[in-house]
Amino acid sequence: MAENPSAPVSSSSDSSAHAKQRRRRIGLVIALAAVVVLVLLSAFVWPHWAVRSQEPVTEASASASSQPSQASSPKAKAVPLPDSASELLKAMPDTVGEFARVKADSDSEWSTRTPIEEYNLVYSSGKSGGDVTLHLAQWSRSEDAKALYDSQSTGMSGKELASGNVRSGGTVTGSYLEKADGDDEHKALVIWQNDTVVFRAQGQRTALEAFYKAFPL
């Protein structure tokens, strides 16, 4: 049989073409695998910058929400006490809620009860009708303070608005009584004893109640 010289050439060409196709397929698979790896990296590693970039926003929001409201800040400015003020007077707060202490004078209204010291203070909210007058005195014995409290509370006229015990650290240290002003239903007066000190506050009822319920002593 005669030889066919073209046959070997065709077989060699086919083999070469198949090899090239396999290399292309392998290269494509490798390229796809590389893309998958890059996608995974971008999903699990790169997004960390986004988390960090969001943190300041979260902190800013928390900071803004944690700032105290200025709605209850006093419009009036507290008047400083003199350097010679007693420890009792220094214990009186500069501000109580929306009220600021604008006056503090010595007084002698209860002098017949011989207190150690006695004062008359004015706290103002800076609003019309928003002043509260606070009268206080201290004795050396709680029994003397209670005697003054009993005398004052018994003499109060008007409708009773509130009453109860005064507590300090869970211990009852006195009592309080609030009554409406007998001459003006819009005004009220409250008196309370806390151990050796007696307080009496009076003013417009709304302002008075906001004041004494926030008073720390």
The reported pLDDT for the residue numbered 77 is: 92
What distance, in Å, lies between the first and last C-alpha atoms of the chain?
Answer: 127
pLDDT greater than 80 at residue 62: no
**Cα–Cα distance measured from residue 69 to residue 35, given in angstroms and rounded to the nearest whole number:** 53
Token duo for residue 136: 């206080």
**Cα–Cα distance measured from residue 130 to residue 120, given in angstroms and rounded to the nearest whole number:** 17
What band does 185 get if pLDDT is binned at 50, 70 and 90?
Answer: confident
The reported pLDDT for the residue numbered 72 is: 65
Instruction: Summarize the confidence of residues 64-80 as an average pLDDT.
Output: 63
The reported pLDDT for the residue numbered 17 is: 53
pLDDT in tens, 38-49: 444 444 433 332
- Please list, in sequence order, all residues whose beta carbon lies within 8 angstroms of the beta carbon of residue 186, skipping any fewer than 6 positions away: 204, 205
**DSSP assignment letter at 180:** E
DSSP states along 66-101: HSPPSTTS-SSPPPPPPTT--HHHHHS-SEETTEEE
- Total H helices, total E strands in the chain: 5, 8
The reported pLDDT for the residue numbered 51 is: 31
Q: Is 84 exposed, middle or buried (0-12, 13-18, 19+ CB in 10 A)?
A: exposed
pLDDT in tens, 92-103: 999 999 999 999
